[in-house]
Amino acid sequence: MTEKRVHTFSNGTEYGGWESHNCHNCWKWSGHRSDTPPRSGDDVSIRRFNCTIDKALGEAYWGDGKVKESIAKRMGLPGYDCTEREKQRPPRKRRAPAIETTPLFKTE
C-alpha cells in the first residue's frame, strides 16, 4: 500500500516563508532552485541533495504539491520548525594523506 500524500503549504508565500526559516538556516539545503520546470524525462534527483526533505519539496514544487505524510511529520508540520534543521555541518572525520618528504637538495 502506498503512503498517504498530503499538501504541505496552501500557497507559494507560505512555502517561501517556511523554506527561508528552515532550509536557508540549514547546511543540508541544496541552495539551488531552478526557475524553469524539469524537461520531459529529466529527473529531479540528478541534483545533489543532502536533505531528503529538500528533495521531496523540490519534487512537490514541480509536481502535484504533495509529499509523503512521513516527510510532512519530519518537516515539523503543522508547526513551523523543521525537526531536522542543523545550523552547522558536523565535523568530518578525515585523515590527511601520508606525505613522503625528501630533502630539496641531496647531500653527499
Which three-class secondary structure state does DSSP give residue 22? helix
Task: Please check whether residue 84 is in contact with residue 74, taking contact to mean a CB–CB distance below 8 angstroms.
Answer: yes
With 0-12 / 13-18 / 19 or more C-beta atoms within 10 angstroms meaning exposed / middle / buried, residue 107 is: exposed
pTM of the model: 0.63
Q: pLDDT (tens digit, 9 = 90+) per residue, 39-90?
A: 555 555 455 678 889 889 988 988 999 999 999 999 998 888 998 888 877 7
Task: Please check whether residue 23 is in contact with residue 41, taking contact to mean a CB–CB distance below 8 angstroms.
Answer: no
Residue 6's pLDDT is what?
94
